[in-house]
Amino acid sequence: VSSFGIDGAEDLPDDCSEVILQALGGMMSTTGADGGPPELTGAPLVEFFTGANCATAIAAALRSRDNGGPGQRIDIAAYDSSVALVGAYAGHIQAGKGHGLRAGSRHPLCCPWNAYKTVDGWVLICSSTEPQWRRVLDVIGQPDLKDDPRFATMPDRKQHQPTVDNLVTAWTETITTQQAVDAMEDAGVPVGPIVTIPGLIAQDDSPPARDVTTPSGETIKTPNSILVMDGSPPINPDAIADTTGDVESTLNAVPPRAAHAPKDAGSLPLAGIRVVEIALFTAGPLGGRYLTDLGAEVIKVEQPGGETGRIWQPNFGGVSGYFSTYNAGKRSVILDLQAEADKAALEELIGSSDVLLQNLKAGALERLGFGPGATRERHPGLIYCSVSGYGSTGSKAPALDTVIQAKSGLMALIGKDGDPIKAGLSVADLLAAHLSPLAILAALRHRDRSGTGQHIDLSMRDALAWTTQLTWPDGAWSLPPYRQIACADGWVVAEAAPERIDAALRGITPDTENCADMLAQLATDGIPAAKVLELDEIFTHPMSARRNLFGLADTEGG
C-alpha cells in the first residue's frame, strides 16, 4: 500500500499525506463553495477508501488461493483509490465539462437542494421530484407558488435558485433545526440536520458504542459499527441446490446460469458466482460493478423502461455515461415486480443465484415478499446484501447521499467559515459501494466452509460516521495544517503551518504566479505541496495513464 503504487511517482514521495492525495485525486477540486476555493474534507477519506480496497483485494486473493490459485502480490495505490471515486463524472470529463464543479451544498441539477440556516443551526433540505417541490411549498406556507411559471420545472427552479433558496430560508430561519426536520419528514421530503461530531456521538440512534480513553484519561463511548452479518444455522453444503436453466419473464428472459469456472489459477476470484442486483443509481450498482470486475455474473433487475440512470446526461450514442460507468459488464432483465408472473421469475432467478444485492427504499422488497428474512428462509445458502441509509433497524427516511453526509458529521468537517459545504463526490454512496463487495467476499468464504448464507446489513450513515473517527470526541481537526493558494492558472495546496508558508513565499503575490512556479518555490523550503487537479486534468495526467485508470469503450450506437 503506497501513494502511487509499486513504481511510485517521479516528483512526489510514496507516503503523501491525505492533504496532497485529496488535491491530486479530484476530491478537493469538487468540494467548496460556488466560486470559492477548493476545500479539504476533514476526514481522511482517501486513506479510508484505500484501506477498504486493501481489505477487499486480500479477501479476493484468499478466495483465489482457496480455489487452487497461487499467492498474489497486491499493489494498492491511494491515488488509484481517489481517482476511482470520480466515476460519476466520467461522462462529463469526456464531454469536456471537467472544470467548475464546486457548488457548496447545492445539487448540479435539483432545486431546492441546499443547507438552510435555522435559529439553532443548519438543516439540509433536498427536493428531486415535482411532488416533493409541491410538498416543500405546502410546508413553508407558499402553496400559491405551485403555479408560478418561474418554478414550473426543475430547470426553471435551477434558473431561479437564489429566489427558491430565499423562500426556504425565510421559513427555516424562524424555527429550530428539529422543527424543520420534523415538518419536512412528515411531508416525505428528504431532510437532515447538519450534525457536529459531538452531536453525532450523543445521538440515541448512533452506531453501537465502544469504550475509548481520551488523551486526558476520560473514558467515553464512541460509535464502532459499519455493517452487521448474521447467519442462519449451518446446513449441509451438499444440500444447496444449483438451479439452472432459463427463467422466463413476461417481459424478458433471464439467461441461464454460467457454468462454474474451474478452480485454477486462471479463474477470477468470483468466477461462477451469480449475483442478482436490484439496485438504483450509485450505492448498489457500483458495488455490483465491482463484483463483475472480480469475475461474478451480475444480472441487473430493472423496472419496465429501465433504470432512471439510463437517461442521465451526458450520453454518447444514446448511452448514458453515468449508467455505463456504474453498470459495465452486467446483463439486465426487465421485471415488473407488481406482476405475479414477474415476481415468480425473480424468485426462480434468486434460486439460481449466490448473492442478492439491493438498495431499494426501506421496506420495498419486504412488501413484495423478498425481504431478507423471508428470502433467506426459502434460500438458506443465499448471501443477501442490503444497502440502506440507516440499517434495517434504523430510520426509514429517504437516504440521499447529501443527507447522509449531513447526518454523519462529515459536513461539519468541511470548510473553515461560512455556509456548510458537502463533499463534492457522493462519498456516502461510494463508501457503501466499496464495503459491500468486501462483506460479500467474506460471506462467501464463510459459506464455503459452513454452507450458511448471510444477511449483510450495511448502513451508509454508520459507514460514513466511521470515517470521522479521528476527530472524536470533540470534532477537532485531524489532518495536517494546510493552506490553499490561488495562482494565475489554478490552485495549489501547501501542507504546513500558515506562518511557515508565508515565510516561504517571501512576499510573492501568488495570483501572478503559475502553479508550477509556486510549487517550485514551496519546494525550496521543503513544504509538501501539490496542484489541485481539476477532473479533466486527472483524466489526462501521466500517472492516470501509467496506472491504466481510464478506459474508453464504444457505445452500442458506435
Q: What's phi and psi for 71, nearest 5 deg?
A: -65, 170
Number of neighbouring beta carbons within 10 Å of residue 319 = 16
Q: In terms of C-beta density within 10 A (0-12 exposed, 13-18 middle, 19 or more buried), how is residue 86 classed? A: buried
CA distance 117 to 169: 7
Distances (CA, A) of 406 to 2, 148, 330, 410: 31, 31, 32, 6
All cell numbers assigned to 430: 461510494
Number of neighbouring beta carbons within 10 Å of residue 318 = 11
Distances (CA, A) of 206 to 288, 404, 407: 28, 13, 10
Number of neighbouring beta carbons within 10 Å of residue 539 = 20
CA distance 140 to 146: 12
Q: In terms of C-beta density within 10 A (0-12 exposed, 13-18 middle, 19 or more buried), how is residue 145 classed? A: middle
| CB-based contact 89:101 (threshold 8 Å) | yes
CA distance 193 to 406: 6
SS (H, E, C) 23-56: HHHCCCCCCCCCCCCCCCECCCHHHHHHHHHHHH
Number of Cα atoms under 13 Å in the Cβ half of residue 28: 29
- What residues are labeled active site? 429
DSSP character string of 301-355: EE-TT--GGGGPSSEETTEEHHHHHHHTT-EEEE--TTSHHHHHHHHHHHHT-SE
Which amino acid is residue 476, in one-letter code? A
Buried b (16+ CB within 10 A) or exposed e, 486-499: ebeebbbbbbbeee
Element (H, E) at 231: strand 227-231
All cell numbers assigned to 210: 465502544
Q: In terms of C-beta density within 10 A (0-12 exposed, 13-18 middle, 19 or more buried), how is residue 251 classed? A: middle
Sheet holding 490-494, edge to edge: 483-487, 490-494, 529-531
Number of Cα atoms under 13 Å in the Cβ half of residue 335: 26
Distances (CA, A) of 289 to 254, 295, 296, 550: 18, 10, 9, 15
DSSP classification of residue 234? P
